[in-house]
Amino acid sequence: MRTHSIGPALVALAITGLAHSQVAIYGDTVHTSAGPPLTDAVVVIEEGKIARLGSADAIDVPDGFRVLRAAVVTPGLIDARCTIGLSGYLNQRQDQDQLDSSEPLQPELRAIDAYNPREELVAWVRGYGVTTIHTGHAPRSLVSGQTAVVKTRGETLEEAVVKPVAMIAATVGEGAREGGTKSPGTRAKMASLLRKELIRAEEYLRKQSAQNGEDRPDRDLRLEAMGLVLDGQVPLLVTAQRSQDILTALRIRDEFDFPMVLDGVAEAHGVLSRIRDAGVPVIVHPTMMRASGETENLSFETAGILIQAGVPTAIQGGYEPYVPKSRLVLFEAAVAAAHGLGFDDALRSITISAARILGVSDRVGSLEVGKDGDVALFDGDPFEYTTHCVGVVIEGAVVSEDVR
């Protein structure tokens, strides 16, 4: 593997933190996403990390800790794919940075340069227990830009960022088709342009590694970004809804041998064995996404079908061209739970399964000692319509106590 790096400046962003609190969270039922649920349990958070977890009778909480209580406690929820923080709730030009349509291929566009941690949509999803989001450029260009993993807290990017470069977002299908004389106008052109860019990036990396410094090319941000994919440092996140587009994405992956995550896959049921055999994870479309155009064959059962087939799967809030720009993963998982997914897999799809696909499961996604103190509190079954999120904790800081 080549040693192409995302650079120390970006890495430094991911380790910047905030002051933390000492919190003890009691739950009648605590779902850890790491094992069976616990009854009458407590989660103790110190210095932003989970320090102790277990039966409330067996753990003494020191004086001075802030104490929260709830009927049901879960790990902080994770939205595995959205544009929150780049797209804003006002739906006006000044808060819409999720897509630059001037060119079809722009992998060099960095999500962290456009993310607004003070955007109201960030606070909105946080109030429902979403503590981590995978956000970035929208799936409406052939290669629209980079994504990042951030916490839904903090006044600055440095306070929020977990993974500054998570994936490179691409689209194969109707979402990337341009009209008139603009390119790409067909699926064949999309595949051709993507292959051409990957070949250019291969050649760029080869020259960059030349022993003779005089033979090295000048820096090219676009090719550097695609080089991260070819080096295996970040996956290519490919939105593909139609079965033919899913297969095209897998074909290109096989040709160039790079990591890939499939996004959307409305027609996954038609090529299920190919997805499973390819061994690629899937961030499935929001369960209640509008079924029209290339998503006309989506199903409430898609997530359940994928998981039953053994495909690593997470559910997303997604990107909507209309306000409020994102669906809420809590509700999307709830509907999937009622359509073949079941409670446990539904919760994992927006906690530990999402964390694993995003490469951040060492920090988030489950309640385990040593992990970040990210917790959501509910007054009942989180997937019941009448249940409320009554508290949210991120890295030991109580960021919401509103009843939502």
Q: Is residue 117's pLDDT more than 60?
A: yes
pLDDT tens-place string over residues 163-219:
999 999 999 999 999 988 999 999 999 999 999 999 999 999 999 988 676 678 899
What are the boundaries of each domain within the chain?
Answer: 76-366
Pick from 19-23, 224-228, 274-278: least confident: 19-23
pLDDT, average across residues 47-76: 97
pLDDT, average across residues 110-135: 97
User: What tokens appear for 328 in the block?
Assistant: 């809420």
What's this model's pTM, rounded to 2 decimal places? 0.95
Residue 357's CB: how many other CB atoms inside 10 A? 26
CA 223, 226, 228, 231 dihedral sign is negative
pLDDT on residue 210: 80
Beta bridge partners of 98: none
Confidence of residue 21 (pLDDT cuts 50, 70, 90): confident
> What is the Rg, in whole angstroms, of the alpha carbon atoms belonging to the chain?
21
Cβ pair 267, 241 in contact under 8 A: yes
pLDDT, average across residues 86-102: 93
pLDDT on residue 12: 45
Q: Is residue 250's pLDDT more than 80?
A: yes
Q: Domain 76-366 - what CATH class?
A: alpha beta
